[in-house]
Amino acid sequence: MKQRGADLLVRGLKAAGVSRIFTLSGNHIMEVFDALIGSGIEIVHTRHEAAAVHMADAYARLTGRLGVAMVTGGQGHSNAVAALPTALAGEVPVLLLSGHAPRTELGNGAFQELPQAAMAAPVCKAAWTAETAAGLAADVARAASLALSGRPGPVHLSLPTDLIEAELAEAALPEAAAFDPVPMPLPAETARLVAHLLAGAVRPLLLAPPSLASPAGAAALDRLETASGMPVPVMNSPRGLADPSLGAFPELLAEADLIVLLGKPLDFTSRFGRTTKARFVALEPDAALIGRAARLLGERLVLAAPAAPLDAVAALAAAVKPVGETWAAKVRELINWRPAEWARYAGAPEGPIHPATLCHAITAALAEQGDATFICDGGEVGQWGQSMVRAPRRITNGVAGAIGAGIPFALGARAAIPKPTLALMGDGSFGFHMAEIDTAARHGLPCVLVVGNDARWNAEHQIQIRDYGANRTFGCELAPGTRYDLVATALGGHGEFVERAEQLAPALSRAFASGKPAVVNVILAGEPAPNIKYDGPIHGSGLRPPPIGPQAR
């Protein structure tokens, strides 16, 4: 029986457990579209290629499975590549499939001929162009395994049209194990050595990477916290130590005497280890990053070992003993600490709506919905959301710090888990992918999109105020009072316009009740991101970190 390369590709995707692809049609991939008919793999047909990648990213974060985006070649591919740094920094297993000019025409000026694999390679774990039609399923297996192994991340595969159109004899699929992640365990003896170092420390900290925000990662961290008595924060913010979701974290880091990196790279997010005198342990899947930690820390790196983050956490949970209760309680207190004065913004009816007032209202609305997902995007307003809003599941724009993914993240999240979903973003972020409201309406993916409308690129505006003075703010303004809610109604959704704090709760309630993609357009005071400073006593050496300024988005 004859089959096309596209048919074999789809069989490979099925074997990899793929049940949904986020895509935008184009000439180079029409053969794959045809092969998908009747396959059982659904498509979500988007309005922009980068949005397709962001949706696959969110889908993978919430399911722990491979997220797949498929786009056409040439400019379709280059559009999609722009979204890969967010998945790479977020350590998310995403497969980007891109159509490609036929191999037989390469070098002759083929239609939309570009060095696609070379373009994607710097922002992927691996990128290559398929070489044979018969090898397409094996290419999928290799890509899936790479994306899920070690530190998870995106992988790219380009699909030349002559390969997906080629007819070939029935081909066997790779063995099921070929699609699985490659184990990278932490030996039990090494885990016991780490546990011994923890037992000898007075003020240890355990730090987790973005990949452990996945369902499996969260479960593994819960087991480690139960065994050690210590909270294990996931560091997943472009503001590093100033991550507002981690409370008074800089003070903790400065006081620590031992820091265990559970696959968390030593990088700008921890100020390269410069704000602490602690010793370090690095359990790290990437040999190059172990080398970097050794270079940055010198003798303070007392142990380093190769291990995948999930495997390292599992081994450590089996070996560790509870740490000192006083220190563990202080770690928990400082991570959860928020300024008491924020409470006064709850329901505050007077004056312009403060971001904290909005976040109090969102937290209440999500609590009413029950099992909900929270997406947080954007600059200053996003920092308020990350610090204040609580929900059973959440996704942020992550370490990459790029804004604009909020709307496609919401759609990918809703496709992954069909539960109430709310995304908070600024008006700048909203503009990147507002056309995806149409995608949400067409595919029945209702979500609530809350726009903090302060009529400016506020993160940059705040940098200008801080660095140059209020009289030199320039080029960051947006039109005041823009009716983003009307965009939703024009594209088949529901819109709410909010100018006063007392309107927030009913507007959010109506948005969820609409059963449509809904935009709640909130005229917001342009406040800077929260600056959390803990002034209480900390048990420890009395060390204090240097001042930490805001990070650029």
The length of the chain in residues reads 553
Q: What is the dihedral of CA 42, 46, 49, 50, to 10 degrees?
A: -100
Which tens digits make up the pLDDT trace of 101-112? 999 888 888 888
Asked if 22 contacts 52 with a C-beta cutoff of 8 angstroms, the reply is: yes
Residue 147 has pLDDT above 80, yes or no: yes
Q: What is the mean pLDDT of residues 98-124?
A: 92
- Nearest Cα residue to 177 out of 151, 125, 142: 142
Strand-pair category, 448-453 with 67-71: unpaired
Predicted local distance difference test score (pLDDT) of residue 546: 32
The structure tokens 């006081």 sit at 255
If one looks up domain 340-523 in CATH, what number appears? 3.40.50.970
Predicted local distance difference test score (pLDDT) of residue 172: 85
Does domain 2-179 fall under CATH 3.10.20.30? My reply is no
pLDDT range class, residue 519, cuts 50, 70, 90: very high
Which tens digits make up the pLDDT trace of 199-241? 999 999 999 999 999 999 999 999 999 999 999 999 999 888 8
Mean pLDDT of the chain: 93
Predicted local distance difference test score (pLDDT) of residue 21: 98
Asked if 223 contacts 317 with a C-beta cutoff of 8 angstroms, the reply is: yes
**pTM (predicted TM-score):** 0.94
Which tens digits make up the pLDDT trace of 12-31? 999 999 999 999 999 999 99
pLDDT range class, residue 246, cuts 50, 70, 90: very high
Extended strands (E) in 150-265: 155-160, 167-169, 204-207, 258-262
Predicted local distance difference test score (pLDDT) of residue 538: 63
Residue 329 corresponds to which amino acid?
Answer: A
Which tens digits make up the pLDDT trace of 165-201? 999 988 889 999 999 999 999 999 999 999 999 999 9
For residues 153 and 86, give the distance between their C-alpha atoms in angstroms, rounded to a whole number.
10
Predicted local distance difference test score (pLDDT) of residue 262: 98
Q: For residue 353, report the phi and psi dihedrals to the nearest 5 degrees.
A: -70, 125
Which tens digits make up the pLDDT trace of 531-549? 887 767 664 433 333 332 3
Number of H helices, E strands in the chain: 22, 18
Q: What is the mean pLDDT of residues 507-523?
A: 98
CA 481 remoteness from chain centre: 30
CATH code 3.40.50.970 region(s) in the chain: 2-179, 340-523
CATH code 3.40.50.1220 region(s) in the chain: 188-336
The percent of residues above 70 in pLDDT, for the chain, comes to: 96
Task: Decide: helix, strand or coil at residue 313.
Answer: helix
User: Ranked by mean pLDDT, which of 345-354, 375-384, 500-509 comes out on top?
Assistant: 500-509
**Structure-token pair, residue 317:** 């949970």
- Nearest Cα residue to 156 out of 50, 75, 70: 70
Q: Any idea which fold 188-336 has?
A: Rossmann fold (3.40.50)
Predicted local distance difference test score (pLDDT) of residue 351: 85
